């Protein structure tokens, strides 16, 4: 084998966690908690998820004022143009606008910044934005963002002037949100593909704003919550 | 600052305090299991997530969406509790997996001994060649 075809490194070790995941899944199937076919369908669905459809929605809205109006008025309908069907597709497949089918697109302006959270658990617009990052799931982020949004955004590196209003959107079982940020200067004449590349996951959650040249999310520290959690209250 | 949206509690089941006492099988994994971050560093792998994470997500989805054996909201609430206590020192997503197994054992969806036996079988299978 030539150096050119050197195989990618791989973990050559079976971990207890890998074994635990498989054992839990097999027993759940054997006990009828779900079928092997159900699991395959969900796995395929999870594999398809990512932030690109939401980034494309934003890029299209920046380029097409009519599409932007549609996105803000009816996020579910606007999602169809980027290949996401909230009503007939996974995860609901209900064919009726029920749970998990209401996407709202929150339009930022130079004087208004939106940011998304789920204070109750970790509701997230998965069909259009993929799996939520670890920090989004933590009680620390969820509790503090609604109390001190400006300070939390500053911790993410987003310093907002005092005259910019911050609105926190609290996701829930029925309604999910993405942020439509302000198109940054320096992107004049860009294609949809170029624009979508700078609309990162963090921009769509609202903890970052798009910048030419920035196409990846910064690694975020995760902090534990100090106080006990009492979901029952 | 304004807060948009209201929580929908109409479909939420009554939340109950999770049983936080350790489960010996899971304690052993917590203490001795090698987490993905360590394995990836040792073997020079750059994938930030373990390959089994997708399967774990699908299991969590299927448990909630199919027969509703473990509703999402209850699982996530218990995961929060367990992540702040028993499994506090375990990184994500290993912590999510331990919390899921914990919730399933405490609810009687799987039995601890049965799970231990199945783990041995799975390990034998994976390492048999």
**Span A116-130, pLDDT tens digits:** 999 988 899 999 999
ipTM of the complex, rounded to two decimals: 0.88
Pick from A23, A224, A225: which is nearest to B119 by CB? Answer: A23
Catalytic choice (A35, A79, A101, A121):
A121
In this structure, is residue B18 part of a structural domain?
A: no
Residue B39 domain flag: yes
Number of domains in chain B: 1
pLDDT digits (tens, 9 = 90+) for B92-106: 999 999 999 999 999
* Within a domain: B113: yes
- Could you tell me the two tokens for A168? 């926190």
pLDDT (tens digit per residue) in A27-78: 999 999 999 999 999 999 988 889 999 999 999 999 999 999 999 999 999 9
Helix (H, G, I), strand (E, B) or coil at A190: coil
Best residue in B7, B56, B62, B72 for a mutation probing chain A (most A CBs within 10 Å): B62
Query: Distance between CA atoms of A27 and A205, rounded to whole angstroms?
Result: 36
Give the containing element (helix H, strand E) for A29.
Answer: helix A16-30
CB contact under 8 A, B54 and A43: yes
Q: Does B3 touch chain A (CB under 8 A)?
A: yes
Q: Is residue A22 over pLDDT 90?
A: yes
Answer for the pair A198, A210: CB distance below 8 angstroms, yes or no.
yes
- Report domain extents, chain A: 11-46, 50-205
In a domain, residue B9? The reply is no
Q: Looking at beta carbons, which residues of chain A come within 8 Å of B17?
A: 232
Evaluate whether residue B17 is within a structural domain.
Answer: no
Q: Is A132 a catalytic residue?
A: no
Classify residue B73: in a domain, yes or no. Answer: yes
In angstroms, the CA B72 to CA B53 distance is 17
Do B111 and A11 contact (CB within 8 A), yes or no? no
| Domain extent for B67 | 24-126
pLDDT tens digit string along A180-230?
Answer: 999 999 999 999 999 999 999 999 999 999 999 999 988 777 777 766 555
A118 belongs to the catalytic site: yes
B122 touches chain A (CB under 8 A): yes
Query: What is the predicted pLDDT for the residue at A219?
Result: 78
Distance from CA of A189 to the nearest CA of B (A): 34
Q: In this structure, what token pair is assigned to residue A221? A: 């520290």
Assign A83 to helix, strand or coil.
Answer: coil
How is residue B41 annotated by DSSP?
A: H
Find the CB nearest A21 among B66, B73, B97. Answer: B97
- Is residue B40 in a domain? yes
State if pTM tops 0.90: no
**Average pLDDT score over residue span A138-157:** 94
pLDDT for A172 equals: 86
At A224 the pLDDT is: 72
Whether the pLDDT of residue A98 is over 50: the answer is no
Which of A43, A91, A222 is closest, CB to CB, to B55? A43
Q: Is B39 on the interface with A (CB under 8 A)?
A: yes
CATH of domain A50-205: 3.90.330.10
Residue among A79, A101, A123, A203 flagged as catalytic: A123
């Amino acid at each position: 084998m030539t150096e050119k075809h050197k195989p990618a490194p791989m973990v050559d070790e079976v971990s207890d966690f890998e074994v635990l995941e498989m054992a839990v899944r097999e027993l759940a199937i054997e006990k009828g908690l779900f079928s092997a076919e159900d699991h395959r369908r969900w796995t395929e669905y999870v594999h398809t998820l990512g932030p690109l459809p939401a980034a494309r929605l934003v890029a299209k809205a920046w380029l097409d004022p009519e599409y932007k109006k549609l996105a803000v008025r009816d996020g579910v309908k606007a999602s169809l143009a980027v290949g996401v069907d909230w009503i007939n597709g996974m995860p609901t497949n209900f064919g009726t606008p029920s749970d998990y089918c209401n996407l709202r697109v929150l339009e930022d302006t130079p004087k208004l910044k939106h940011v998304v959270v789920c204070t109750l658990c970790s509701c997230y617009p998965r069909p259009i934005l993929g799996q939520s990052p670890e920090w989004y799931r933590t009680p620390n982020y969820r509790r503090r963002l609604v109390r001190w949004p400006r300070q939390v955004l500053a911790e993410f590196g987003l310093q907002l002037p005092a005259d910019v209003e911050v609105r926190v959107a609290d996701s829930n079982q029925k309604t999910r949100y993405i942020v439509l940020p302000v198109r940054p200067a320096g992107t004049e004449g860009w294609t949809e593909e170029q624009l979508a590349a700078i609309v990162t996951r963090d921009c769509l959650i609202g903890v970052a704003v798009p910048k030419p040249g920035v196409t990846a999310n910064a690694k975020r520290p995760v902090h534990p919550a100090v106080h006990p959690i009492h979901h029952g209250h | 600052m304004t807060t948009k949206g209201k929580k929908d509690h109409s479909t939420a089941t009554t939340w109950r305090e999770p049983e936080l006492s350790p489960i010996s099988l899971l304690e052993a994994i917590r203490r001795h299991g090698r987490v993905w971050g360590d394995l990836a560093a040792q073997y020079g792998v750059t994938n930030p997530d373990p390959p089994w994470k997708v399967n774990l997500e699908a299991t969590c989805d299927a448990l909630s969406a199919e027969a509703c054996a473990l509703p999402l909201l209850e699982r996530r609430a218990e995961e929060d509790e367990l992540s702040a206590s028993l499994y506090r020192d375990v990184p994500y997503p290993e912590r999510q997996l331990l919390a899921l197994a914990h919730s399933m054992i405490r609810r009687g969806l799987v039995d601890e001994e049965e799970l231990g036996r199945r783990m041995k079988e799975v390990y034998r299978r994976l390492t048999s060649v």
